Amino acid sequence: MAEFTLKIDGMHCASCVRRVSQALSATAGVALNEVTVGTAKLSSAEPLPVDAAIAALAKAGFAAHLES
C-alpha cells in the first residue's frame, strides 16, 4: 500500500478537517489515515491517486499539493 502526504491550504478548524475527511473518504482508491490542520496523511490501494485526491479537495474548496 502506497502512502503520501498532502499539504492542504485553507484548513483552519475542526469544520474544515471534517469537510476534508468527507471529500477524501469519497475518493476511490484513497484510504484516509489521518487529517490534521494543515496536512492529510493518506494511503492508497492503487498507485498513488494523488490527482484524484487533489481534485476532490479542490471541489470541496481546498487547494492541496503533494508534500515533499
Domains and CATH numbers, the chain: 2-67 (3.30.70.100)
Cα(3)–Cα(10) distance, integer angstroms: 22
| C-alpha cell recorded at residue 68 | 515533499
13: which residues sit within 8 A by CB, 6+ positions away?
37
Cβ atoms of 5 and 61 closer than 8 Å: no
When pLDDT is averaged across residues 1-23 and rounded to a whole number, the result is: 84
Instruction: Label residue 8 by pLDDT band (50, 70, 90).
Output: confident
Specify the pLDDT at position 43: 54
Could you tell me the pTM of the whole model? Answer: 0.79
| pLDDT tens-digit map of 24-63 | 888 877 777 678 887 777 655 556 578 888 999 999 999 9
Cβ atoms of 50 and 4 closer than 8 Å: yes
Residue that has been written with the C-alpha cell 481534485 in this structure? 55
